[in-house]
Structure 1
């Protein structure tokens, strides 16, 4: 009976994945026109333009919208693997394959099917944007890294290093890594690939200085200040700037600096947590990574819709373990994903206009993300940091922390 139920559950899960992904493909191939601005132009125009430049062996350093680490070139060039398709079509097919790869990894690694369910349900909540950005490919690398982490720390480190050179944020997956082999492999991978890119391609690290003059992106937490201020005479404006729609004008620099300050505070909290944590179970690696990425996403001066796929992927890895404490934050992220597709692309015009509907959507989405970040941080702390009045385990606890083995309180 249990085998029949398991088989039926797997069939239903795969069927749901097939139906929802077909719907996403119909949207990006424009068989069905999804409401709001066309999200596929990033692929057909911007990515395609970068492809032409990268194919010559150099980086598009003269394009202010290129703000990515050097390995991002691999994702942009990847549609060349399918020469029988046009660039955009090939990109969408590769995004689908990356999506499928994550599902297979989750089904293979999880003791619980809840992780795969989170992925199957969470990705379509974000709408066609998820197939029209290369973030899904980066998320696939991050998921593979976390799932490898407990048993194969060097593999995890190598994948984290690759992910960091794809889009920086995967370096946060090391937040809960206690084995030096993971850190060492990540450092070697980053160093080796960086040297290779620096020698082979001019402008590989131009991205490091490409965002100095950015404003505050209209969907970020800090942008809520200006959305409200516009109703009280704020004299700034909303412009397409550095590839995204941003607020520019009086006091934007102050809010952007405040966002950086919050990011620094998040880093400080993570450092304090690592110093205080004494119980590292196998699921702590994923729980810590999910919490770290949540904190840095919420405090960023840019919260693009595709960032949510990072969180959905990491939440899915957390839910593969029955012992994970990240159930409530996962639910909040899924709710935020549903609101995200409404604020972009469906009603993005209302967001840009700062009208009541746009304000409501942004307050709701960003509020859900902030609540998820705080909830995840509290749960991570309580599950790993011994109580102040608990007896110390002394050298045994320190040794267990180094080896990454579970420690009882």
Structure 2
């Protein structure tokens, strides 16, 4: 997805220096003020350590089977110890972060481009959480798939298939990438080969129950406190904590319980259906256009991810990382997109950076307020910040969908 654009001054040394500085600062923040975010890594370590006893069908059933194999890599590299696993996991996520940074630099003509600055800043603003969850994997795969879409459609399909095997939702991106006629067969062939190939391996290794366990797990989850649909209840709870309670559920997430929860769960289900219909409508508009440009394709990918994120009844903070990789790849198209789209992409980038900062404030900095720990004022402040984050995400999703719809319009003769 390389396009003509105006590069910024400075090459590899500037990029490396900025990346190292921000990542080192992120590690300092992790070690001092945000240590609580490592809890999930220790959870991975416990479950992977018990893989021999529990077997593959009984290990990390909330995730697709290939995730178990992936999360076993830090176990081997870390020598099996708890601390070794943490260090190896963080280094693995840093490596993936570095891979996408390098890919952006290569795609920008080996020059320092604002797209690289955006990715470096976005990850830093989301926070050290990025290195203690494996959501860096689908973010990098989606960004890499978009970068490869113009010249290597087979690679786009392979990366998308791998992403679907890790997190399921990237399967929707195959529909987005398929709107481009050139290389469509290569892309879909690679997607099916990698995605369904890993599904077949998962079936052989863990059985049918283990293959579908992530879907059944997701369907049984409640209303996560950071989700868009929990926002009205969390606002009400900030002023009336007796009527609504927050508890750590059996699904390893904090959920809200009380009046109207079932109603909002039903609303989230309806929103998911509507979001899917909107996504299909965007795909159909793209298929009707014989010449889908880089900006239109990038906006379509971003819209698909944003819709998937916002309509879900669960919205963990690390999900915001999914938007960063494709957004950075999209920014490389701004130079050849014309003045209008140049401004649009710049504005969307700023909105995403604000969204990233609000996400780190929501978790972990103000999270205790959402849990009801501390003063009532702290609870109100944390709830307001989370509501602003969710409102910002909603606004961004609507804008990206609108811009994607316009960009996918078929040019008149």
Normalising to structure 1: TM-score of the pair? Answer: 0.85
Distance 1:106 1:246, change over 3 A: same
Q: CA deviation at 1:56?
A: 6.1
Kindly state the Cα deviation for residue 236 of structure 1 after the two structures are TM-superposed: 3.5
Count residues in correspondence.
Answer: 378
> Which residue does 2:3 correspond to in 1?
none
By percentage of residues, which structure has more helix? 2
| 1:362 and 2:364 correspond | no
1:69 match: 64
Aligned to 2:399: 375
Paired with 2:66 and 2:412, the residues of 1 have a C-alpha distance of 41
- Give the alignment of 1:70-219 within 5 angstroms: 70-83=65-78, 86-110=84-108, 113-177=113-177, 178=179, 179-202=184-207, 203-219=210-226
**1:218/1:60 CA distance change after superposition, 3 Å:** farther
Secondary structure of residue in 2 paired with 1:239: strand
Runs (5+) with no aligned partner, structure 1:
387-406
CA distance in 1, matches of 2:121, 2:152: 28
Distance (Å, rounded) in 2 between the aligned partners of 1:292 and 1:326: 16
Contact 1:226 1:234 in 2 (8 A): no
Structure 2 unaligned spans of 5+: 1-6
- Which residue, out of 217, 229, 252, partners 1:243? 252
Cα 1:81/1:52, change in 2 over 3 Å: closer
TM, length-normalised to structure 2: 0.85
Question: What is the DSSP-based 3-state SS (H/G/I as helix, E as strand, rest coil) of the residue aligned with 1:150?
Answer: coil
Q: Which one is further off, 367-376 or 247-256? A: 247-256
Q: Distance in 2 between matches of 1:317 and 1:57?
A: 41
Farther-moved stretch of structure 1 (258-267 vs 248-257):
248-257
- Partner deviation per Cα, 1:278-337 (whole Å, 9 max, x = no partner): 251133322211111011111111111111111111111110112265332222121011
CA deviation string 1:82-120 (max 9, x = no partner): 245811111111111111001001111136812211111
Residue number among 371, 379, 382 corresponding to 1:352 in the alignment = 371
Aligned residue for 2:20? 18
RMSD between superposed Cα atoms in Å? 2.4
Give the 3-state SS of the residue equivalent to 2:58 in structure 1.
coil
Cα 1:141–1:276 shift into 2, 3 Å: closer
In the TM superposition, structure 1's runs of 4+ consecutive aligned residues that sit over 4 Å from their partners are none
Deviates more, 1:352-361 or 1:371-380: 352-361
Aligned counterpart, 2:294: 282
